[in-house]
Structure 1
Amino acid sequence: MSKAFTKEDDGTENVHLDDLPQSPHPNLVTPSGLAALNGRLGARQSDLAKLREKAEEIDRKLAIAVAQRDIRFLEARISRAILVDPKSHSPRIVAFGAEIEVITEDDSRQSFRIVGEDEADPTHGLIAPYSPLGVALMGAQIGDTVEWQKPTGIVDLEIVAIRYE
């Protein structure tokens, strides 16, 4: 058979990874959350450019595919972003972007801030509006007690302060 009709593995095939799943929720973002997404996108684009300059390596192809997948994900998140200025909300009602101070059942104080999904970090008190705690807090006012459904049971939280940056 002629060599023209055979395919030899020369190692030059590109690796393609499936896209990362996108959240079904509207992509609400704070100004700082949108800036962080744009920063992550810029960093991944820079990483991709550096990877493409390297000599041919097997690991490089996978790294390029990962960077390309991450860039597609971030571009989609940014294109779906709905910028919400927290200062546009009433300081009397918990809404997206609010920092909420609560008193728990054991009289300890905790603070949470409702941010976009990409910015959420529960260990630092940053929660998504679609999380169980976010859902419980949204629409509440100072003096209200809300029920937070946790895996270990329901916790009552009294809203004592609402602030917006």
Structure 2
Amino acid sequence: MEMIPMTGAGYATLETELKQRQQIERPRIIEQIAEARSHGDLSENAEYHAAKEAQSLNEGRIADLEDKIARADIIDVSKLSGDTIKFGATVTLIDEDTEKKQVWQIVGEPEADAKNGRISIASPLARALVGKQKGAQVEVVTPGGAKAYEVLKVEWR
């Protein structure tokens, strides 16, 4: 079984979503199915089919969450240190073309969320950064073309 590295916060987020889907969504959907069933003929009952579809999606996500939680390798980022970028590091970059600063934390795939500054360890940017140190120049090939960055800071938080 291949373990999935993740931070403690990422693990807690998965557990919270799993509990919500099991204890709130699952009973709500079952109730919708029962309500739709009471309306009679199921073959042309759009509410019933929509509720069954929602049930299928919810159960699929529950199975996915249970799998990720079972394979979680929780890494305590607060115990990490050093100048070399690796899993858990928060890295401040400057885009060499636009001079725009970006801050990213390198996390596990299940907790990656670019809008909140968390990128997957498997992403092209993270792969380019791992092993580098402050002051390093990094080039990353993106769908929009090659981007060049300079590493300004490496932190553990």
Query: Aligning the two structures, in what range does the TM-score lie when normalised by the shorter sequence?
Result: 0.7 to 0.9
Equivalent-residue separation in structure 2 for 1:135 and 1:91 (angstroms): 18
Larger radius of gyration: 1
2:22 corresponds in structure 1 to 45
Check conservation: 1:89, 1:95, Cα contact below 8 A: no
Q: Does 1:62 align with 2:53?
A: yes
Gap runs ≥5 in structure 2: 37-47
Equivalent-residue separation in structure 2 for 1:27 and 1:41 (angstroms): 17
* Aligned residue runs from structure 1 range 85-104, under 5 A: 85-104=76-95
The Cα of 1:66 is off from its aligned counterpart by 2.0
SS at 1:146 equivalent? strand
Aligned length: 142
Q: Does 1:34 align with 2:25?
A: no
Q: Does 1:127 align with 2:104?
A: no
Gap runs ≥5 in structure 1: 1-24
RMSD of aligned Cα (Å): 1.9
Q: TM-score, normalised by structure 2?
A: 0.81
% identical equivalent positions: 35
Letter in 1 for 2:17: R
